[in-house]
């Protein structure tokens, strides 16, 4: 991988990580267009590692919220009265909601990195999850804010996050849809989605960096990986602010036409032999 490709992939990751259009799906498409072997261990690790840049953007953008939640959680561990604080409970809900993807992601790692890294899977997921997003926007009452989050709703959103392990679904698309189905307003559902992304993507990136260092060195290279990670951070920070403003005024269905168009374009590229599905 050269530096230009790394910059492009970093931009793609930064833009798509938090929009409901699937970052993994987009990275898979671009990696294939660049002639990479998308089921190669190094490429798979690269895809997970550069997500850390986007997560650092979440830490920076929500630094005050994260610090408040962390301090409330620490106080609650040692003080019974502090456990009545909503922030203490909210922090626990995010931790509990992150457990499903940790278990399923680790257990199905081989299948995710292999069988699911197929562009036909991406096409199908882009189309089918667009239907879910449409229904979620139409049936969700959108009456709840963040303070309405419970253990049950956090687990449901966390379980839905697991579906996003399928490239093309979109982690944010899955979690925001789950929040809408449970009656959260779009801004609350989006913010909850951001907070749930922190444990999931941090763990995935750290795990790949620790266990696949040799694979990255042998195929992609660490310099392009670091460059792509830095670029993804810068772009993701802007994307977070933009998305929060967007969902405050517009439904998430505005992304459906793009998802459908992308699925059609990728299908055409595969059928015409421009790129292969695997």
| Number of structural domains found in the chain | 1
Mean pLDDT over each residue of the chain, to the nearest integer: 88
In a domain, 276, yes or no: no
Whether the pLDDT of residue 176 is over 90: the answer is: yes
Read off φ and ψ for residue 250, nearest 5 degrees.
-130, 150
Question: For a pLDDT cut of 90, what percent of the chain falls above it?
Answer: 45
What is the structure's pLDDT at 219? 82
105 vs 135 pLDDT, higher one: 135
* 146 occurs within a structural domain: yes
For residue 277, is it within any domain? no
**Mean pLDDT to the nearest integer, 111-136:** 85
What's phi and psi for 184, nearest 5 deg? Answer: -75, 145
Q: What is the pLDDT of residues 26-67, one digit of tens each?
A: 888 898 888 888 777 888 888 888 888 998 998 999 999 999
State residue 202's pLDDT score. 82
pLDDT value, residue 119: 86
Rounded Cα gap, residues 207 and 188, in angstroms: 29
Range of the domain at 52: 3-271
Provide the pLDDT for residue 278: 75
DSSP 8-class letter at 149:
-
> How many Å apart are CA 44 and CA 56, to the nearest integer?
20
Which is more confident, 88 or 36?
88
In a domain, 233, yes or no: yes
Does a structural domain hold residue 208? yes
* 123, two tokens: 């096409």
| Separation of alpha carbons 24 and 13, rounded Å | 8
Asked if residues 122 and 266 have their Cβ atoms less than 8 Å apart, the reply is: yes
User: Cα dihedral sign for 227, 229, 233, 236?
Assistant: positive
């Amino acid at each position: 991988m050269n530096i230009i490709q790394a910059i492009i992939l970093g931009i793609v990751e930064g833009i798509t990580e938090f929009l409901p259009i699937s970052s993994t799906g987009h990275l898979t498409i671009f990696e294939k267009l660049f002639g990479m072997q998308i089921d190669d261990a190094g490429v798979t690790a690269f895809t997970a590692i550069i997500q850390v840049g986007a997560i650092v953007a979440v830490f920076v953008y929500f630094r005050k919220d994260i610090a408040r939640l962390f301090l409330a959680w620490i106080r609650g561990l040692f003080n019974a009265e502090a456990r009545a604080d909503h922030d203490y409970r909210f922090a626990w809900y995010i931790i509990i909601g992150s457990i499903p993807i940790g278990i399923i992601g680790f257990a199905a790692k081989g299948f995710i990195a292999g069988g699911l890294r197929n562009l036909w899977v991406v096409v199908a997921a882009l189309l089918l999850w667009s239907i879910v997003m449409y229904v979620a926007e139409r049936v969700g009452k959108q009456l709840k804010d963040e303070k309405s989050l419970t253990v049950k709703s956090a687990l449901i959103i966390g379980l839905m996050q697991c579906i996003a392990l399928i490239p093309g679904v979109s982690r944010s698309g899955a979690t925001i849809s789950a929040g809408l189905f449970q009656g959260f307003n779009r801004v609350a559902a989006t913010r909850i989605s951001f907070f749930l992304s922190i444990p999931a993507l941090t763990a995935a990136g750290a795990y790949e960096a620790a266990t696949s260092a040799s694979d990255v060195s042998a195929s992609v290279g660490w310099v392009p990986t670091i460059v792509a990670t830095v670029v993804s951070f810068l772009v993701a920070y802007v994307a977070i602010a933009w998305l929060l403003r967007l969902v405050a005024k517009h439904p998430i269905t505005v992304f459906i036409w793009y998802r459908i168009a992308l699925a059609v374009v990728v299908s055409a590229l595969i059928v015409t032999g421009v790129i292969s599905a695997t």
